[in-house]
Amino acid sequence: MNVLALDHVVKRFGDFTAVDDLSFSVPEGGIFGFLGGNGAGKTTSLRMALDIIRPTQGRITVLGRAPGRENDALIGFLPEERGLYRRMGVLDTVIYFGRLKGMSVSAARKASEALIDKLGLGAWAAQTVDRLSKGMSQKVQLATALVNAPRLLILDEPFSGLDPVNQGVLEDLIRDSARGGATVVFSTHVMQHAERLCDRLLLLSRGRKVFEGTLAQGAQVLPRRLSVTSRADPSGLPGVAAVRATGDTKNGWRDWEVDLLAGQDPADLLQACTDGAFPLRRFQTREPSLHDIFLHLVGADQERRS
């Protein structure tokens, strides 16, 4: 079952199209990454899923029904731009959001106390938010998203503004939530987090989908790159698109960066080298990073549109 599905969704603000014919689905369970540069339409898409704004066209399904307040009890949301009531107590803040999501007073209190302890804020529970550091405030905000033990946890740029230690804490919390049965959807433009966390990815560029799938599927889209050490120039080998020498010749051997043609399997090149007695001392395939995939897909898309 899909917990979130967008079907040909368009959102326009006046003359500006923020989301353009976007379709994708998020299956239940696991961590889904929503990637894109600034202005790609990530936040707008998430806001539509949360019924904060309505699409101009298309259909959205969240947990099997249209977006609306009926889903609130099952959704946790951490917005990109975060803030809290400065004069409200830490515990009261988390309870308040739990109550807004339909929890009873006692359930909200119990869950809030447990979460605050888990996040290391137990000693600050009675303090007002304006006495907390920025990192602590962000933990409180995260607690407001998690208080209802959501089935769908939506995090919009959750790592922005966090120091490396707290980024690690948040990554653990996201993994814990996913292990606990929640489906986590998070948007980011920092590829390393997505690479470490996501089971599936959606890449957006200027409101349009440019890729949806796993990291491995993304890697296949990108022409493969090899590092080889050979006596001869490999540019004449079958399936090679381009080569670059990366070092001087030593005892007749030289290092090369080899770009294969799109869809070319490195194993076919290795076989061609063996069959053709092409001397090799090193044959190393380089797995493309998400950063590479992103730059390739988004860059190509932007080049195409411009």
Partner 1 sequence: MRRAFLIAAREYRQVTSTRGFWVLLLALPLALGLSQIAGRWIKPEATAAYVLADASGRYGPAIQQRLAIDYQRGVLSDLVSYVRRWARGPGTGALWDSGPRGFDDQEVEAFLAAGGLPHALGQIAPRLAPGAPAFHADQPEYLSAADKLAPVDQGPAAFGAAVTPRIGEKVMTSAGPRRLSVAIYIPKAFGPAGPPARVWVRANPDADLVKVLRTELSGALRLEALSASGVPPAEFARIAGVNAPLSITIPLKDHTPTQLLERSILPLAMAYLLLITVMTTGGMMLQGLIEERSNKLLESVLACVTPSELMYGKLLGLGGVGLTTVLAWVACAAAALAIPGEVSDFLRPALQSAANPWMAFALIFYFFTGYAIVSAIYLAIGSLCDSIQDAQAYLVPVVMVIMLPILFMMMSVVRDPASALPHILSWIPLYTPFAMLVRLGGGISWTEAVGTGALLLAFMALEVVAVGRIFQVSLLRTGQPPKLGALSASIIRPGSD
Rounded to the nearest whole angstrom, what is the least distance from the CB of residue 94 to partner 1 in the complex?
12
Q: Is 96 or 256 the residue whose CB approaches partner 1 more closely? A: 96
Under rule CB under 8 A, residue 107 binds partner 1:
no
Rounded to the nearest whole angstrom, what is the least distance from the CB of residue 179 to partner 1 in the complex?
24
Encoded amino acid at 298, one letter: V
Under rule CB under 8 A, residue 115 binds partner 1:
no
Under rule CB under 8 A, residue 77 binds partner 1:
yes
Contact 256, 246 (CB under 8 A): yes
* Residue window 37-66: x/- pattern of binding to partner 1, with contact defined by CB under 8 A: ----------x--x-xxx------------
Rounded to the nearest whole angstrom, what is the least distance from the CB of residue 303 to partner 1 in the complex?
30
Under rule CB under 8 A, residue 75 binds partner 1:
yes
Encoded amino acid at 300, one letter: A
Under rule CB under 8 A, residue 104 binds partner 1:
no
- The CB-based long-range contact list for 276-282 (8 Å cut-off, 24+ gap) reads 276/237, 278/230, 278/232, 278/234, 278/237, 279/230, 279/231, 279/232, 280/228, 280/229, 280/230, 281/229, 281/230, 281/253, 282/227, 282/228, 282/229, 282/255
Q: Is 32 or 96 the residue whose CB approaches partner 1 more closely? A: 96
Under rule CB under 8 A, residue 118 binds partner 1:
no
Contact 89, 116 (CB under 8 A): no
> In the set 8, 59, 69, 282, which binds partner 1 (CB under 8 A)?
69
Pick the closest to residue 240 from 204, 207, 266, 211 (CA basis).
Answer: 266
Q: Is 45 or 144 the residue whose CB approaches partner 1 more closely? A: 144
